[in-house]
């Protein structure tokens, strides 16, 4: 009897926003009418980890998302029986590919950033002690430049030496550029994929896997020569964005103070091709990446390369400005209400961006915390969240009451915001104020607000 060909196995360590969706995509790759790979997701055994494991194993995604493709990909993976999530590392022993997509958190701030590598070191040791000698390790986690050469490679080599493996390890650094939201899956598939590799064998195997992930008709896999080059590409890319956001904040201040139309100013600047992606005002910077990555180069320069000369002043200043951005909106609120007490505020959007239920480092959350600390009473309207963080007293997603609020702040575009009928405020009991921090309201509603002469501050006016 002909022996059934064993499928190649991919282990993805870390079932967060990056790892879970990568695993789902791998589990949907097809060959001969079946899945090409057996995909094992590995997640921590703690309470949050177990929640993710249970959700994914029962065909649900780890969080609410407006990308409908995620559900259909999960459904297909279930049908193909190609995805299984576990809390042990046993499958590493038989894996052909090991993708590392764990978090690497930043502690401290722009004055003294600290990174605790112990988790990444632990995982790398487990991988080095378990994998087959020809398995390929792909590091997707965002790391300070120099991490692959200083930490990952030496740990794998040390473990190979203990195991008397003489083969050079196959290691790839290929950072993730996913944008969670409406186009979550598309943002992985339709994107140039940058990588660097330890040797030709690793490169060949990486290309073999990712030719089925990336849409190679329009995009490509781009090799950089050294690990530190691809590590730096990720950090520079995100630092560039953070710096540009901070820069526009200065002009948002200036425009509001001097009653200028920032949107008109930005629109004429955008007519120059070189400037057409200029940033616009918003509440602030949030999410897991832009709130840490701009400090990674400063960290590695000091800690890995012992170089104290280049202090990455611009990146560090942008981090400070971006962190303080919610205070700017807070000051607007304080100026409107001076010392009035017992005021009620509706906040639309607590996630860090639209279309995904992720509130990590959300500027909206920072603003809510500050408002609550100063005795404002808040209700939050956000369809992508089931519960609010424990430290927030606010109530979530109530039936909207037109007579209840003194102020409505629109922070993240969500489907509840444009359901409000602004003409209902005409005869309501309270004099309502409205702030739109991030182009959340559509033109029809803005026209209505202006027609009704409601008090309106639009950061993007």
Binding site for ligand NAD (CB under 6 A): 13-19, 42-44, 49, 52, 101-104, 119, 123, 140-142, 176-178, 180, 288-289
Backbone angles phi, psi at 261, to 5 degrees: -90, 100
Helix axes 313-337, 227-257, angle to 10 degrees: 30
Q: Give whichever of 14 and 146 is closer to ligand NAD, judged by the CB atom.
A: 14
What is the DSSP-derived secondary structure letter of residue 267?
Answer: H
CB of 176 to ligand NAD, least distance (A): 4
CB of 360 to ligand NAD, least distance (A): 8
Q: Give whichever of 149 and 372 is closer to ligand NAD, judged by the CB atom.
A: 149
CB of 99 to ligand NAD, least distance (A): 11
CB of 436 to ligand NAD, least distance (A): 25
Q: Give whichever of 186 and 404 is closer to ligand NAD, judged by the CB atom.
A: 186
CB of 258 to ligand NAD, least distance (A): 36
User: What is the three-class DSSP state of 10?
Assistant: strand
Q: Which of 360, 361, 454 is nearest to 410 (CA)?
A: 454
Q: Token digits for 448?
A: 């209505």
Q: Give whichever of 27 and 178 is closer to ligand NAD, judged by the CB atom.
A: 178
Helix axes 153-162, 118-130, angle to 10 degrees: 40
Residue closest to ligand NAD (Cβ): 16
Q: Are 445 and 422 in contact (CB under 8 A)?
A: yes
CB of 19 to ligand NAD, least distance (A): 6
Query: H or E segment at 196?
Result: strand 193-197
Q: Which of 446, 284, 256 is nearest to 350 (CA)?
A: 284
CB of 328 to ligand NAD, least distance (A): 25
Can you spell out the DSSP letters for 20-57? Answer: HHHHHHHHT-EETTEESEEEEEE--SSHHHHHHHHHHH
CB of 441 to ligand NAD, least distance (A): 26
Taking the C-alpha atoms of residue 348 and residue 398, their distance in angstroms, rounded to an integer, is 11
Q: Give whichever of 13 and 25 is closer to ligand NAD, judged by the CB atom.
A: 13
Q: Give whichever of 123 and 368 is closer to ligand NAD, judged by the CB atom.
A: 123
Q: Token digits for 366?
A: 């920072």
CB of 241 to ligand NAD, least distance (A): 12
Q: Give whichever of 18 and 346 is closer to ligand NAD, judged by the CB atom.
A: 18
Longest dimension (CA), the chain: 85
Q: Give whichever of 104 and 256 is closer to ligand NAD, judged by the CB atom.
A: 104
* C-alpha radius of gyration, the chain, whole number: 24
Give 152's contacts (C-beta < 8 A, 6+ positions apart).
120, 124, 137, 139, 171
Q: Token digits for 272?
A: 């120059």
Taking the C-alpha atoms of residue 447 and residue 443, their distance in angstroms, rounded to an integer, is 6
Q: Give whichever of 16 and 281 is closer to ligand NAD, judged by the CB atom.
A: 16
Count, in order, helices (H) and strands (E) of the chain.
14, 18
Taking the C-alpha atoms of residue 170 and residue 436, their distance in angstroms, rounded to an integer, is 50
Q: Give whichever of 158 and 177 is closer to ligand NAD, judged by the CB atom.
A: 177
CB of 238 to ligand NAD, least distance (A): 8
Taking the C-alpha atoms of residue 319 and residue 301, their distance in angstroms, rounded to an integer, is 17
């Amino acid at each position: 009897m002909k022996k059934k060909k064993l499928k190649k196995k991919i282990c993805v360590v870390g079932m967060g926003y990056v790892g879970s969706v990568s695993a789902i995509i791998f589990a949907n790759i097809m060959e001969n009418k079946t899945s090409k790979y057996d995909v094992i997701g590995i997640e921590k055994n703690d309470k949050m980890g177990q929640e993710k494991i249970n959700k994914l194993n029962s065909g649900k995604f780890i969080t609410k998302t407006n990308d409908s493709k995620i559900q259909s990909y999960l459904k297909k993976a279930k049908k193909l029986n190609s995805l299984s999530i576990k809390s042990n590392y046993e499958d590493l022993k038989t894996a052909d590919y090991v993708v590392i997509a764990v978090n690497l958190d930043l502690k401290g701030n722009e004055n003294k950033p600290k990174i605790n590598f112990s988790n990444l070191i632990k995982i790398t040791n487990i991988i080095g002690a378990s994998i087959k000698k020809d398995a390929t390790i792909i590091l997707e986690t965002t790391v300070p430049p120099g991490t692959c050469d200083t930490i990952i490679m030496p740990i794998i080599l040390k473990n190979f030496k203990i195991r008397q493996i003489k083969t050079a390890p196959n290691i790839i650094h290929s950072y993730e550029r996913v944008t969670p939201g409406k186009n979550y899956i598309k943002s992985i598939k339709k994107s140039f994929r940058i990588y660097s590799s330890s040797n030709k064998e690793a490169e060949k195997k990486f290309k073999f896997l990712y030719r089925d992930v990336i849409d190679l008709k329009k995009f490509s896999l781009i090799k950089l020569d050294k690990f530190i080059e691809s590590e730096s590409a990720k950090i520079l890319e995100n630092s560039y964005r953070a710096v540009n956001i901070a820069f526009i904040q200065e002009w948002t201040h200036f425009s509001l103070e001097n009653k200028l139309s920032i949107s008109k100013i930005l629109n004429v600047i955008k007519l120059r091709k070189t400037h057409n992606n200029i940033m616009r005002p918003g509440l602030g910077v949030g999410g897991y990446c832009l709130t840490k990555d701009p400090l990674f180069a400063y960290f590695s320069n000091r800690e890995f390369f012992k170089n104290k000369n280049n202090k990455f002043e611009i990146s560090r200043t942008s981090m400070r400005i971006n962190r303080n951005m919610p205070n700017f909106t807070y000051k607007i609120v304080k100026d409107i209400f001076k010392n009035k007490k017992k005021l009620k505020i509706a906040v639309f959007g607590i996630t860090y961006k639209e279309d995904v239920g992720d509130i990590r480092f959300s500027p909206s959350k920072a603003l809510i915390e500050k408002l609550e600390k100063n005795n404002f009473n808040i209700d939050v309207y956000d369809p992508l969240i089931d519960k609010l963080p424990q430290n927030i007293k606010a109530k979530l997603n109530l039936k909207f009451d037109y007579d209840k609020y003194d102020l409505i702040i629109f922070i993240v575009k969500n489907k509840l915001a444009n359901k409000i009928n602004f003409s209902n405020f005409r005869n309501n009991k309270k004099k309502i104020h409205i702030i739109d921090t991030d182009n959340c309201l559509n033109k029809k509603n803005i026209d209505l607000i202006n027609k009704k002469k409601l008090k309106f501050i639009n950061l993007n006016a």
